[in-house]
Amino acid sequence: MRKNEVKGIFNLINTSDKICIAGHKAPDGDCIGSVMALYNFLKPFNKNITVMIDGNIPYNYKAFTDESIILKNYDNEEFDLLFVLDTSDTKRLGKFEDVLKKSKKTVVIDHHKTNEGFGDINIIDNEMSSTGELLYDILKASDLDISVEVAVLIYIAILTDTGKFSYTNTTSNTHRKAAELIDLGVNVSEIDNIVYNSKPSNIVRAFIDCVSGVELYYENRLGITAITKSILDKNNADIADIDGVVEYIREIKEVEVSCVLKENDEGTKVSLRSKNNIDVSAVSVKYKGGGHAKAAGFELNENIENAKKIIIEEFKEYFV
């Protein structure tokens, strides 16, 4: 972390009045945790702060999110300072993308290796497990107090993006920072119960329907399934609330790459996970998406059946 960049950020905060904090569309734990942590950290600065996230907040993060402060639609409001967190490219801001043009200064804080740095200040570190972990370093460098509330939000960001501290992005430093957050007052099992052990039964049923549709290709090394509108309708479920299917498919012993196709109005959202050496972000970048080597995604203007064919063909070179 370069000290003068952090200084630059806090200078910008001090000289700004209207501040906006934005995260990526279809927000996950890292996005919500980081955005809400920064929001709460900045509250004592007495600024005019707006939060922008395109998409529903999943049920398990609602307890940590004040949804009343999240803007529903963008009305061309101008900001002195815009923070963009956990968002690897501007398209990922979804319906809030135009806010970039309306902000005097932009600070990008992210851990995606595919992020090319679209801000005035860019703090991008792909060695970090999560945007939350990186944000924690920045907040610590300010030498200001970190409240329990902020600590909890950062912990959630780290916990969820590391798959409970199990993915290869988890380092000894990640654990040290988690330990510091626990010292600040985070109750680990309480958070675990809210984030992971509070699934509504209809969501579990939808999850089971998605998992049971798995198809395996290339001697079981590619696992692929879909979250269709019909599964969601049948179970009265919101797509934002179905999480973990793609990780579950990866748990199959032989699976090297798992893929979940999410049906939406524009076509199909593709989620990819890799177990070992295949870099799924490289495939995603080919289709104008991005992410990490072991977790990446992109959008296709194709229906589920065509998207499936494209994915199977795309991975042929890795498996045949």
Residue 162 makes CB contacts below 8 A (sequence gap 6+) with 129, 130, 169, 170, 174
Number of chain residues interacting with ligand 5GP (CB under 6 A): 17
Q: How far is the CB of 20 from ligand 5GP (least distance, A)?
A: 20
Is there binding between residue 274 and ligand 5GP (CB under 6 A)? no
CA neighbor of 240 nearest in space, from 29, 9, 11: 29
For the CB of residue 51, give the shortest distance to ligand 5GP in the complex, in Å. 18
295 binds ligand 5GP (CB under 6 A): yes
For the CB of residue 319, give the shortest distance to ligand 5GP in the complex, in Å. 20
Residue with smaller CB distance to ligand 5GP, 103 or 258: 258
Give the amino acid at 263: E
> Taking CB under 6 A as the rule, does residue 290 contact ligand 5GP?
yes
191-230 footprint of ligand 5GP as x/- string (CB under 6 A):
----------------------------------------
Among 289, 294, 300, 311, binds ligand 5GP (CB under 6 A): 289
Spatial CB neighbours of 97, under 8 Å, sequence gap ≥ 6? 90, 91
Of the ranges 102-110, 164-172, 205-213, 295-303, which one interacts with ligand 5GP (CB under 6 A)? 295-303
Rank residues 60 and 271 by Cβ distance to ligand 5GP and give the closer one.
Answer: 271
The site for Mn ion (CB under 5 A) is made up of 30, 86, 130-131, 161
The site for ligand 5GP (CB under 6 A) is made up of 24, 28, 88-89, 92, 112, 114, 271, 289-292, 295-299
